[in-house]
Amino acid sequence: MTTTARTGAAPPAAPARPDGGGRRPGARREALTGYGFLAPLLVLVGTFVAVPLLGAAALSLQRTNGFGEGTWVGAENYLRLASDPVFWRACLNTVLFTVIVTPASMALGLGAAVLLNSVLPARALFRSVLILPMAVSGVATALIGVLVFDQNSGIADGLLRALGLPTVDWQSDGVAAFASVVLVTLWWRTGFNMLIYLAGLQGIDAELIEAATLDGAGPWQRFRYVVVPMLGPSSFFLVIMNVIYSFQVFDIVFVLTGGGPQNATTVLVTYAYDNGFVVRDQGYAATIGVVLLLVSLLFTGLRWRTSRTRDLVG
Amino acid sequence: MPLTRRQLLSAGGVAAAPFALGACAGFSTSGDDASTDEGGITFTTWGTDAELAGFRAAIASFQEAEGATVTLNAVPYEQMFTTIDAQIQAGNPPDVFRVPYYTFGSYAGQDQLLDLTPHLPEGFADRFTPQAWQAVQREGAPYGVPHHTDTSVILYNEDLLSQAGVASVPTSIEDAWSWEEFLEVSRRVKGSLPDGAWPFAYNWQGNGVTRWLSWLFEADGRFLEDDLVTAAIDSDAGARAVRFTQGFFTDDLVPPNSSVKSSTYAADIWYSRTTAMNFAGAFLVPDATSTLDFPWGATFPPRDVRSAGDFGGNALVATKDVRDPGLVARFLDHVTEREQMETFCAGASLLPTRADLIESGIDFEVRPELAPVFLQQAAAVLPQDSGQVASPSMSAIITVLQDELERAFVGGRGVDATVQALSSGIGEATAR
């Protein structure tokens, strides 16, 4: 991940043939062999990614409940989307969720990684504890969240009550419900962020830190001007992963809040699911999916534009 | 050992081979396996252990009588209808599947089900109650059989009610509390409860929002006209039902997190002793019996102009292109015979749809003394009520009910605005 240099033993390019053909003997055969090896993957990607994507795009131009032939309606679903307040609320919630969860889970992950990269006693145990949530499925995580944030009999309000503090309406207050989704997600995602940062930290040459120390840099300066820049590729990878995950969030919201109260936690994927499988307005649901795809593509495009520099240390 | 490029490519090819072969072979599903069973019936359902045991018993006796195979495909409820829809879209549906009455119309209205009229024996309809038979009709023809029903009554915590001085509860449907009496009892219970506890919670979460319609029916209202297209909720009865149920929240009689879009179910709130009373169907009886360590009983839900209830439960339907409609019809006939239905309902704690079983009564295997409460309440469902829920647009109407009632209950929107929003939303849903 931290290097783009090729170290393989690829032979130097063959000189051009004197007859001007410009191809070395056997090149066509080698290309065919290459495509032959690629073919299984292309078939799989084509069948399970490209065809469904094109199908969804076609569905977004139809009015259909999924049974029989749909009716082609052109851009009607897209126009409806533009004037649908719940869609815009879902967009706002999705962006807000992304903007909060991405930096927060990275900051917590970095903090934990720095702590667990030091000479902390029992650090192997702490590392395992932090990584454990990664092994739990999203639905199970959300069910744990329900036990914690149930506002009648949940653990969170029980603790607040025991401390003599006012309880929080985790399920009937929109802001608190959104906070509960964020908190459960952070619990789930911090371990992954820590793992990536821990790997990045262990790849930093100790001599660099030592040199900075000899140059008179204090702990904060060493962290800010040596460690953080050296973690550039890890941070870049985590930004991409966290943003993509946040845009696709579904299971936590679906189980923990169901999108409520009053759409306070509805996100794009839960809204698409409701339209597709509850209302059975599958054309409209596909339209939301296509918009989500376009946003993801836009973000991926930005990533490609910046990746040439951001994928290098320093 | 350093790898040469040739070795790497070879290894990659070997690694990819299983995927390529898998792609060529296609993926098999349980549905595929089942549909290859020529000459038999494929039957997809979800169910509790008790329900599946009931289905298996009925299948065994049918197989013995007919010599035909019935392949039972049990799937989790959460996957049931995405699976069925995908199979219908792929042209590979099961012959028979189980469907809630409020979802029945979505399939019947889209011409996905078999019209059973020519395949059922003469007088077949007479075995069912009128409200049950009405729930499986589309334009006057049966597109399924009512397999069982369920309806909500009040389950109450005896300790919490007696602590509030409520010494007795109605013991017959004629003596059911009026809406006003129910409010009075609730307020009295509230006065005796500590902070963080409420008199009751209503079971309208999730798709249970159709149970809100019981209040509308009790006020003698409708949400659809007989044509099942024209919205009929903008009425005095509609406004009365919205105002009364909104009052549960404004008067702090129910937990704030028990609204129609809450992810917490009323039963769980009652289990944790946060509420004294809980509206629930008979299906909850076995679970409550094994879970609860406080004494509890059942009584009738309140009545207004009349008693009413939700026509819960499920129908069995056949898909329109079944290979042997006659065999499928005989299967549907068999599973709704008196003996099969009685075994199923007694074991799974559900209510029969046969008029003779309603008449003679049924003994639940668990808490049999509660069965009469549920049976009397189920009889209060009128055919006109269950017929509306069979609307082909019910899936979209459910979403309208959830959104608009949530705005009234949690968002504080006024009664008139809510009734108008419900009316226009239902109109738009049926026009799609």
**Per-residue three-class SS string for B245-308:** HHHHHHCCCCCHHHCCCCCCCHHHHHHCCCEEEEEECHHHHHHHHHHCCCCEEEECCCECCCCC
- The CATH code of the domain at B153-310+393-431 is 3.40.190.10
What is the CA angle B137-B61-B348, rounded to 5?
A: 65
Q: Using CA atoms, how far apart are residues A145 and B264, in angstroms rounded to an integer? A: 12
φ/ψ of B41, rounded to 5, equals -120, 135
Per DSSP, which regions of B85-136 are E strands? 96-100
- pLDDT at position B115: 96
Substitution target from B257, B268, B410, B432 for chain A, most A beta carbons within 10 A: B257
What is the CA angle B321-B327-B333, rounded to 5?
A: 110
Average pLDDT over residues A170-188: 94
Strand partners of residue B137 = B142
From B180, B179, B188, B266, select the one nearest B214 (Cα to Cα).
B179
C-alpha dist (Å) from residue A249 to A253, A267, A301: 7, 8, 21
- At A219, list the tokens: 């702990």
Please give the DSSP secondary-structure letter assigned to residue A279: S
Put simply, whether B196 touches A (Cβ < 8 Å) is yes
- pLDDT at position B186: 97
Closest Cα in chain B, distance from residue A228 (Å): 34
Decide: residue A277, CB within 10 A, 0-12 exposed, 13-18 middle, 19+ buried: middle
- At B104, list the tokens: 């029945």
- Asked if A133 and A141 count as a contact pair (C-beta separation under 8 A), the reply is yes
- pLDDT at position B193: 94
Put simply, whether B92 touches A (Cβ < 8 Å) is no
What is the CA angle B174-B175-B180, rounded to 5?
A: 115
- At B241, list the tokens: 């039902």
Residues in A closer than 8 angstroms to B206, CB to CB, are 258
- pLDDT at position A311: 52
- pLDDT at position A126: 83
- pLDDT at position B38: 56
- pLDDT at position A135: 85
- pLDDT at position A307: 63
Residues in A closer than 8 angstroms to B261, CB to CB, are 258-262
Decide: residue A14, CB within 10 A, 0-12 exposed, 13-18 middle, 19+ buried: exposed
pLDDT above 90 for A103 = yes
Closest partner CB to A152 (pick from B2, B4, B196) = B196
Lookup result for tokens 């010599």: B67
CB atoms A279 and B5 under 8 Å = no
pLDDT above 70 for A288 = yes
Closest Cα in chain B, distance from residue A244 (Å): 25
Lookup result for tokens 């075994």: B343
What is the CA angle A247-A248-A251, rounded to 5?
A: 130
Give ipTM to 2 decimals. 0.76
Residues in B closer than 8 angstroms to A281, CB to CB, are 396, 432
Angle between helix B338-348 and B49-66 (nearest 10) = 160
Instruction: To the nearest 10°, report the CA torsion of B352, B356, B361, B366.
Output: -30
From B278, B298, B131, select the one nearest B205 (Cα to Cα).
B278
- pLDDT at position A11: 45
- pLDDT at position B294: 95
Instruction: Give the chain A residue nearest B19 (alpha carbons).
Output: A40
Dump pLDDT digits (tens) for A227-257. 999 998 899 889 888 988 899 899 999 999 9
Average pLDDT over residues A86-102: 95
Q: Using CA atoms, how far apart are residues A39 and A51, in angstroms rounded to an integer? A: 16
From B381, B377, B396, select the one nearest B146 (Cα to Cα).
B381
Dump pLDDT digits (tens) for B32-83. 344 444 579 999 999 988 899 999 999 999 999 999 999 999 998 878 988 8
What is the CA angle B186-B192-B196, rounded to 5?
A: 85
- The CATH code of the domain at B35-149+312-384 is 3.40.190.10
With bands split at pLDDT 50, 70 and 90, how would you rate the model's confidence at A47?
A: very high
- Asked if A235 and A106 count as a contact pair (C-beta separation under 8 A), the reply is yes
- Asked if B245 and B253 count as a contact pair (C-beta separation under 8 A), the reply is no
- pLDDT at position A211: 94
The lowest-confidence range among A212-226, A292-306, B222-236, B282-296 is A292-306
Q: Using CA atoms, how far apart are residues B168 and B190, in angstroms rounded to an integer? A: 17
Residues whose CB falls within 8 Å of the CB of residue A150, separated by 6 or more in sequence, listed in order: A157, A170, A171, B257, B264
Beta strands across the sheet bearing B145-150: B70-74, B41-45, B96-100, B312-318, B145-150
From A314, A281, A85, select the one nearest A204 (Cα to Cα).
A314
With bands split at pLDDT 50, 70 and 90, how would you rate the model's confidence at A295?
A: confident
CB atoms A37 and B9 under 8 Å = yes
CB atoms A152 and B255 under 8 Å = yes
Domains B35-149+312-384 and B153-310+393-431 share a fold: yes
- At A294, list the tokens: 């376009």
C-alpha dist (Å) from residue B320 to B72, B92, B107: 19, 11, 10
- Max Cα-Cα span within chain A: 90
Closest Cα in chain B, distance from residue A180 (Å): 13
Residue B61: what residue type?
A: S
Put simply, whether B13 touches A (Cβ < 8 Å) is yes
**Domain ranges, ordered by start, for chain B:** 35-149+312-384, 153-310+393-431
Structural domains for chain A: 77-310 (1.10.3720.10)
Model's pTM, two decimal places?
A: 0.80
From B295, B269, B293, select the one nearest B201 (Cα to Cα).
B269
pLDDT above 90 for A155 = yes
CB atoms A260 and B406 under 8 Å = yes
CB atoms A261 and B410 under 8 Å = yes
Strand partners of residue B141 = B138
- pLDDT at position A22: 56
Lookup result for tokens 């006012």: A166
pLDDT above 90 for A46 = yes
Average pLDDT value over all residues in chain A = 86
Give every residue of chain B whose pLDDT is below 50, as ranges.
1-37
CB-CB neighbours of B109 under 10 Å? 21
Reported as type and span, the H/E element at residue B318 is strand B312-318
Q: Give DSSP secondary structure letters for A196-264.
A: HHHHHHHTS-HHHHHHHHHTT--HHHHIIIIIHHHTHHHHHHHHHHHHHHHHT--HHHHHHTTT-STTT
Strand partners of residue A72 = A62
- pLDDT at position B25: 36
- At A86, list the tokens: 């719940």
Instruction: Give the chain B residue nearest A42 (alpha carbons).
Output: B20
With bands split at pLDDT 50, 70 and 90, how would you rate the model's confidence at A128?
A: confident
pLDDT above 80 for A300 = no
